[in-house]
Structure 1
Amino acid sequence: MTKPADARSADTEPADRSAGAGSGDGPAFDAAELRTLLDGRWASVREKVRASLRENDLSNADHLDTESHRARTLEQLRLLAKSGVPELGFPVAQGGGGDQGGSVVSLELLAGNLSLMVKSGVQWGLFGGAVVALGTERHHERYLRDIMSAELPGCFAMTETGHGSDVQRLRTTATYDPATQEFVVHTPHEAARKEYIGNAARDGRMAVVFAQLITAGKSHGVHALLVPIRDEAGNPREGVRIEDCGRKAGLNGVDNGRLYFDQVRVPRENLLNRYGDVAEDGTYTSPIDSEGKRFFTMLGTLIRGRISVAGTSGSAAKLALEIALRYADARRQFDRPGSDQEVVVLDYLAHQRKLLPALAKSFALHFAQEELVQALDEVQRTGDERAQRELESRAAGLKAVTTWHATHTIQTCREACGGAGYLTENQLAGLKADTDVFTTFEGDNTVLLQLVAKGLLTNYKDQFDGIGTLGLAKFVADQFVGAVIERSAAHSIVQRIIDASNKDDILDRGWQLKAFEDREEHVLDGLGRRLRKANKDNAFEVFNDAQDHVLRAARVHIDRLVLESFVAAVDRCADPRNAALLDKVCDLYALTIIEEDKAWFLEHERISARRAKSITQAVNTLCGELRPHAVDLVEAFGIPRQWLTAPIATGAESARQDAQIAHDRTHPLP
Structure 2
Amino acid sequence: MTEPTDPSGPTKVDVAALTALLDGEYADVRTLVRDNLAEHASILEDAETMSRDEFRQRVLDVVRMMAGTGQTGFGFPKEYGGGEDIGASVAAFETLALGDLSVVTKVGVQFGLFGGAVLQLGTKPHHDAYLERLIKGDLLGCFAMTESGHGSNVQALGTTATYDAGTGEFVISTPDDRARKDYIGNAAQHGHVAVVFAQLVVGGESHGVHAFVVPLRDEDGTVLPGVRIEDCGRKIGLNGVDNGRIWFDDVRVPRTNLLNRYANVSEDGTYSSGIDNPDRRFFTMLGTLVQGRVCVGGAGINASKVAIAIAVKYALQRRQFGSPGSGREELLLDYGQHQRRLLPMLARTYALHFAQERVAADLHTVFNRFGEVQAADDEHERRALEARAAGTKALGTWHASRTIQECREACGGAGYLSVNRFDALRADTDVFTTFEGDNTILLQLVAKGLLTDYKDSFEDMDQIGMVRFVAGMAVESVLERTNARSILERLRDVVPGNRDSVDDPESGLQEGAWQLEMLSAREEHMLSGVARRLKRGIDAGRDPAEVFSLCQDHVIGAAWAHVERIVLEAFLDKLETVEPGPNKDALNHLSDLFALSCIEADRAWFLEHGRISNARSKAVTRRVNQLCRRVRPLAGDLVDALAVPPEMLRAELLEFSGS
TM-score, normalisation: structure 1? 0.90
1:480-629 map, 5 Å: 492=495, 495-501=498-504, 503-535=506-538, 538-629=543-634
Q: Is the 8 A contact 1:494 1:606 kept in 2?
A: no
Matched letter for residue 602 of structure 2: D
Q: From the superposition, tell whether residues 105 and 58 of structure 1 become closer, same or farther in structure 2 (CA, over 3 Å).
A: farther
Amino acid at match of 2:440: T
Q: Structure 2 counterpart of 1:319, which letter? A: V
Contact kept in structure 2, 1:58 and 1:76, CA below 8 Å: no
Task: Report deviation, 1:53.
Answer: 2.8
Partner residue, 2:88: 102
Does the residue aligned with 1:498 lie in a helix, a strand or coil?
coil
What residue is the counterpart of 1:438 in the other structure? 432
Structure 2 partner of 1:27: 11
SS in 2 for 1:179: coil
Name the SS of the counterpart of 2:182 in structure 1.
Answer: strand
From 160, 168, 182, the counterpart of 2:147: 160
Q: Distance in 2 between matches of 1:233 and 1:615?
A: 64
Is the contact made by 2:11 and 2:633 (CA closer than 8 Å) also made in structure 1? no
Distance 1:489 1:67, change over 3 A: same
Q: After TM superposition, list the pairs within 5 Å mapping 1:360-375 onto structure 2.
A: 360-375=347-362
Quote the offset at 1:59 in angstroms: 2.7
* Aligned residue-pair number: 627
Q: 1:228 aligns with which of 187, 200, 215?
A: 215
Q: Deviations over 1:163-191 (max 9, x none)?
A: 11100010100001111111000000110
Match of 1:70 in 2: 56
Q: Please, which of 259, 276, 290 is the counterpart of residue 303 of structure 1?
A: 290
What's the counterpart of residue 463 of structure 2? none
How big is the shift at 1:145? Answer: 0.6
SS in 1 for 2:320: strand
Q: Structure 1 pair 439/376, CA: closer, same or farther in 2 (3 Å)? A: same
Aligned match of 1:47: 31
SS in 2 for 1:354: helix
| Post-superposition CA distance 1:176-215 (Å, at most 9, x none) | 1111111000000110000000000010000000000011
| 8 Å Cα contact 1:58/1:113 also seen in 2 | no
Cα distance in 2 for residues equivalent to 1:132 and 1:476: 40
Percent identity over paired residues: 52
Maintained 8 Å contact 1:39/1:46: yes
**Runs of 5+ consecutive residues of structure 1 not aligned to the other structure:** 1-21, 659-670
What are the equivalent positions in structure 2 for 1:55-454 lying under 5 Å apart? Answer: 55-57=39-41, 59-60=43-44, 61-63=46-48, 64-111=50-97, 112-381=99-368, 383=374, 384-454=378-448
What is the Cα deviation at residue 85 of structure 1? 0.7
> Cα–Cα, structure 1 residues 488 and 389, in superposed 2: closer, same or farther, change >3 Å?
closer
Change in CA separation of 1:426 and 1:471 when aligned onto 2, cut-off 3 Å: closer
Distance 2:408 2:579 in 1: 35
Deviations 1:531-583 (A, max 9, x none): 12354862111111100000001000000000000001111112421111100
- CA contact under 8 A between 1:326 and 1:648: conserved in structure 2? no
More displaced 10-residue stretch of structure 1: 560-569 or 503-512 = 503-512
For 1:610, the aligned partner's letter is: A
How far apart are 1:51 and its partner, in Å? 2.8
Matches within 5 A, 1:471-486: none
1:96: Cα distance to partner? 1.0
Q: Which amino acid aligns with 2:570?
A: S
1:435 is matched by which residue type in structure 2? T
Cα distance change, pair 537–27 in 1 and its aligned pair in 2 (3 A): closer
CA distance in 2, matches of 1:473, 1:207: 44
Aligned-CA RMSD value: 2.5
Aligned counterparts, 1:454-469, within 5 A: 454-461=448-455
Pick closer, same or farther for the CA change 1:502–1:456 going to 2, 3 Å: closer
Are the aligned partners of 1:87 and 1:95 in contact in 2 as well (CA < 8 Å)? yes
Residue 337 of structure 1: how far off its partner (Å): 3.5
- What is the CA-CA distance between 1:491 and the residue it aligns to? 5.8
Determine helix, strand or coil for the equivalent of 1:288: coil
Cα distance, 1:258–1:522 mapped onto 2, change above 3 Å: same
> Aligned AA for 1:93?
E
Listed one character per residue, the Cα deviations across residues 520-539 of structure 1 (whole Å, up to 9, x for unaligned) are 11111111111123548621
Residues 221 and 472 (structure 1), Cα distance of their counterparts in 2 relative to 1, 3 Å cut: closer
Residue matched to 2:639:
634
Q: Which stretch of structure 1 is more off in the superposition, 232-241 or 338-347? A: 338-347
- Show CA shifts across 1:78-135 (max 9, x none): 1111111111010122221111121111111222200000000000000000000000
CA separation of 1:167 and 1:462: change in aligned 2, threshold 3 A? closer
Change beyond 3 A, Cα 1:426–1:216 = same
Partner-residue secondary structure (3-state), 1:204: coil
Which amino acid letter does the alignment assign opposite residue 293 of structure 2? R
8 Å CA contact 2:12, 2:637 repeated in 1: no
From the superposition, tell whether residues 487 and 51 of structure 1 become closer, same or farther in structure 2 (CA, over 3 Å): closer
Shift of 1:475: 5.8
Q: Does the residue aligned with 1:176 lie in a helix, a strand or coil?
A: strand
Assess if the C-alpha contact under 8 Å between 2:499 and 2:507 holds in 1: no
Q: Compared with structure 1, are the counterparts of its residues 167 and 281 closer, same or farther at alpha carbon in structure 2 (3 Å cutoff)?
A: same
Specify the code of the residue in structure 2 equivalent to 1:36: A
Measured after TM superposition, the shift of residue 378 of structure 1 is: 0.4
